[in-house]
Amino acid sequence: MNAVPHVVIVGGGFAGLWATRALASAKVRITLLDRGNHHLFQPLLYQVATAGLSAPDIAAPLRHILRGQRNVTVLMGEATVIDKTARRVQLASGDALEYDALMVCTGATHAYFGHDEWAPHAPGLKTLDDALAIRRRVLTAFERAEAERDPARRAALLTFAVVGGGPTGVELAGTLAEIARHTLRKEFRNIDPGSARVLLLEAGPRVLATFPEALSAKAAKQLARLGVEVRTGVPVSSIDAQGFVLGDQRVEACTVLWAAGVAASPLARSLDVPLDRAGRVAVEPDLTLPGHPEIFIAGDLATVKWGERLVPGVAPAAKQMGSYVARVLRARFANQPAPPPFGYKDYGNLATIGRRAAVVDLHGWHFSGYFAWVFWLVAHVFFLIGFRNRVVVLLDWAMAYWTYQRNARIVLGKDTMSR
Amino acid sequence: MNAVPHVVIVGGGFAGLWATRALASAKVRITLLDRGNHHLFQPLLYQVATAGLSAPDIAAPLRHILRGQRNVTVLMGEATVIDKTARRVQLASGDALEYDALMVCTGATHAYFGHDEWAPHAPGLKTLDDALAIRRRVLTAFERAEAERDPARRAALLTFAVVGGGPTGVELAGTLAEIARHTLRKEFRNIDPGSARVLLLEAGPRVLATFPEALSAKAAKQLARLGVEVRTGVPVSSIDAQGFVLGDQRVEACTVLWAAGVAASPLARSLDVPLDRAGRVAVEPDLTLPGHPEIFIAGDLATVKWGERLVPGVAPAAKQMGSYVARVLRARFANQPAPPPFGYKDYGNLATIGRRAAVVDLHGWHFSGYFAWVFWLVAHVFFLIGFRNRVVVLLDWAMAYWTYQRNARIVLGKDTMSR
């Protein structure tokens, strides 16, 4: 038998990749399994959706990132069932992986609050394919409006709604407004893209609810300045191919984007443990599955207490969980005492709104506007993986800043959805 | 009525875009119709297919390129029927465009010599979506090989065949060999990507048949040095999901790419004129349709005599035809004498083979190897549209040159084809 323990990590996002890297010097055999071939820098995904960056700018092949780490085998494939008793992960290909320790970090997907019929009309943003589908819809809406003669239909084509006022919704709405007001200026002959309506719909009382109230108010003001109509306090009650209903008001809109609900990846169901409303797994303080110290859950898939609150579903939290799982495993395989329970270290909270507008909350030090935007930009480019990506992203942004142009305005693929 | 004549240009490739630009100062109203929203720099399409460049690097939105030209309306849409009598182009959307002059330059698509059943097993390379589909197949084949335990199946996954020894086939085969031998080195644990077979299949007696024989021989030698098995003189007689038959030899290969036959775009059929075997339209010396001086055919869709030969289907020829059509129209609308018949000016012929290998034929001045490759690179980057594209492409190539890495190794979309 193989004396070296086999660690299977399902999911190559921030949690999985950080755990893998932190096990570089450990005497383990790691198999990192992911449905795609790449690690995705999700915080910039909205830039691909809004044609500011191209897909390869924010993604890198997992096996390239890990090429030097000899104890890792990267596999592209999909886990379908976890058999806790046999300690085996079943793959869609028919193969199976047996493990001594398992880490599940497959993240989250969109959730439509029980309204799955909204899904084809309001695509969400979690993968590069999602981003390219949103890009295609947004650019195609302007193209169709240019050819449309019926004024009502044209207005509907030029109405864009984003559901959900969290960071992703705010970023999408702010950037859509910038595209309409600036990027596409003077490029159309029959329509004025600047007349497009961009609505941001938040059922709760304010946008960016996880930020201090003063910053939420600043963000709402900056959104308004960019031309976004912010509607808070009223839930969306219906979405179809022609528009949506907000409270008792019907709005005709051909493009509705979903940035509201997330649900944990369905793989969690095969763990046969109680899940919370969003499908996440409540874990022990050391991120293991109750009763199964050999199974770890990390990233957006895990519900972890953080004082009165929960650890937020953000990239730094996923990285910290990944590194923590690696620490636990290293100690365990070296027969050393287990580290103290996982503690989330909050470095602050950033959200960008659009050109020269962002809000930053660093442990009580709050700022917004131009300086916050520069801070956000530097932080994000700094954390991007890969030298080339950083250079190209900076170049794209410098060009976009000076010219208002967006370099990835290319419609790819055919829209196989309802419109 | 509108006194300004309406020129409808169908297709925003080199012919259509060059005609549009050359009509900038003419007193006409131009509608430029294209199925996509972008002009594509087709000579570098194989780089997107082989993960060297990202899609937006080699494409630019047509309406952005033409934003300053006030006499142009760009429309994204598909022409389905040309009604010569009513002088009207019918669109798939149900709309129609009436014209005073029409230019059709919708280019070519793949042709499988009557074997359309090969299409799902041997994708061709004409659009960005084609390129992303080929990229997905090639990268996925290596991923599947890494997970495959059956040695025969693994060998089939690591066998890549390119059908057609013209410039596109040579570029694809050379780059595939480079990816296998260099780019993916040390990134796999169960397979050696360097053991992959890359075959270039040409039914005729030599690769790059439009080049002088000595350069064809040089190209074959450079391909062999890169690790490509060149097979000339034997036609492919069958292609299926598992492989192909060459003469009487069956080869198991999971990835077969098609770079052999092209056929003119099917729109030509609705012109109701005789077409040649490849579906192209034989035009008058002024590129008009016989009997219809108001209809021009240009680019790959047109069969134009060039001495004993035909004008080749290359980008410079399409640009020249586009500019020529604009000259004819300008003269006609200004009631000036028509210019002399179209004459193709041949500036030479370049083909790249792979890293540091290319062949160049400049009117009898032939060279190959490293210097030819640098010449090819400079020429192509120079002709790329857009400052940002040039900078990013140069940066990508500089990085690729020094590190052997390819920056767009991202699998996008799902393969909806047979495998």
Task: Write the pLDDT tens digit of every residue in A354-393.
Answer: 878 899 999 878 989 888 988 888 888 888 877 667 777 7
A67–B409 C-beta distance less than 8 A: no
Which is more confidently placed, B392 or B4?
Answer: B4
Phi, psi of B228 (to 5 degrees): -90, 130
pLDDT score for A47: 92
Q: Pick the closest to residue A9 from A96, A74, A93 (CA basis).
A: A74
pLDDT digits (tens, 9 = 90+) for B30-87: 999 999 999 999 999 999 999 988 898 899 999 999 999 999 999 999 999 999 999 9
User: What percent of chain A has a predicted confidence (pLDDT) above 90?
Assistant: 75
Distance, in Å, from the CA atom of A254 to the CA atom of B187, rounded to the nearest integer, reads 44
The CA distance from B355 to the nearest CA of chain A, in Å, is 20
What's the alpha-carbon Rg for chain B, to the nearest Å?
22
pLDDT tier at B416 (50, 70, 90 boundaries)? very low
Distance, in Å, from the CA atom of A50 to the CA atom of A173, rounded to the nearest integer, reads 10
A:B CB pairs within 8 Å = 144
Check pLDDT > 90 for residue B386.
Answer: no
pLDDT score for A339: 97
CB-nearest to B412 from A55, A410, A414 is A55
Average pLDDT, chain A: 92
- Please, what is the end-to-end C-alpha distance for chain A in angstroms? 56
A78 catalytic per annotation = no
Specify whether the CB–CB gap between B106 and B267 falls below 8 A.
yes
A57–B54 C-beta distance less than 8 A: yes
When pLDDT is averaged across residues A67-74 and rounded to a whole number, the result is: 95
Q: Pick the closest to residue A138 from A26, A255, A52, A220 (CA basis).
A: A255
Least confident of A87-101, A275-289, B395-409: B395-409
B168: amino acid identity, one letter = T
For residue B409, the chain A residue with the least C-alpha distance is: A61
Distance, in Å, from the CA atom of A327 to the CA atom of A336, rounded to the nearest integer, reads 11
A187–B61 C-beta distance less than 8 A: yes
Residue B303 region by backbone torsions, left for phi larger than 0, else alpha for psi between -120 and 50, else beta: beta
B132–A64 C-beta distance less than 8 A: no
Domains in chain A, start-ordered, CATH in brackets? 6-35+77-107+265-333 (3.50.50.60), 114-261 (3.50.50.100)
Alpha helices in B34-166 (DSSP H): 45-49, 62-65, 128-147, 151-157
Q: Pick the closest to residue B373 from B414, B401, B345 (CA basis).
A: B401
Q: Which helix (DSSP H) or strand (DSSP E) does residue B389 occupy?
A: helix B387-403
Catalytically annotated residue among B98, B143, B148, B171? B171
CB-nearest to B187 from A63, A187, A414 is A63
Distance, in Å, from the CA atom of A55 to the CA atom of A75, rounded to the nearest integer, reads 21
| Chain B residues in contact with A144 (beta carbon < 8 A) | 76
The CA distance from B41 to the nearest CA of chain A, in Å, is 13
User: What percent of chain A has a predicted confidence (pLDDT) above 70?
Assistant: 97
In the numeric block, the tokens 């010569």 are attached to B84
B340: amino acid identity, one letter = P
B38–A410 C-beta distance less than 8 A: yes
Distance, in Å, from the CA atom of A3 to the CA atom of B117, rounded to the nearest integer, reads 51
Contacts of B291 (CB under 8 A, 6+ apart): none
Across the beta sheet with B249-252, the strand order is B236-239, B243-246, B249-252
The CA distance from A413 to the nearest CA of chain B, in Å, is 6
The CA distance from B150 to the nearest CA of chain A, in Å, is 12
Q: Per the structure block, which two tokens stand in for A416?
A: 């196989």
The tally of CA atoms less than 13 A away on the side-chain side of residue B231 is 16
State CA A196 to chain mean position distance: 26
Q: Pick the closest to residue A139 from A244, A258, A52 (CA basis).
A: A52
| Chain A residues in contact with B182 (beta carbon < 8 A) | none
Beta-strand pair B29-34/A357-362: unpaired
Distance, in Å, from the CA atom of B381 to the CA atom of B58, rounded to the nearest integer, reads 10
CB-nearest to A67 from B67, B186, B396 is B186
pLDDT tier at A135 (50, 70, 90 boundaries)? very high
A73–B411 C-beta distance less than 8 A: no
B143–A410 C-beta distance less than 8 A: no
Specify whether the CB–CB gap between B411 and B136 falls below 8 A.
yes
Specify whether the CB–CB gap between A269 and A301 falls below 8 A.
no
Catalytically annotated residue among A78, A98, A148, A171? A171
Distance, in Å, from the CA atom of A289 to the CA atom of B255, rounded to the nearest integer, reads 42
pLDDT score for B414: 65
CA dihedral over A114, A117, A118, A120, signed as positive or negative: positive
pLDDT tier at B387 (50, 70, 90 boundaries)? low
When pLDDT is averaged across residues A61-89 and rounded to a whole number, the result is: 95
| Chain B residues in contact with A413 (beta carbon < 8 A) | 129, 132, 413
The CA distance from B211 to the nearest CA of chain A, in Å, is 34
| Chain B residues in contact with A154 (beta carbon < 8 A) | none
Residue A235 region by backbone torsions, left for phi larger than 0, else alpha for psi between -120 and 50, else beta: beta
Q: Per the structure block, which two tokens stand in for B331?
A: 């003269």
When pLDDT is averaged across residues B124-128 and rounded to a whole number, the result is: 94
Check pLDDT > 60 for residue B418.
Answer: no
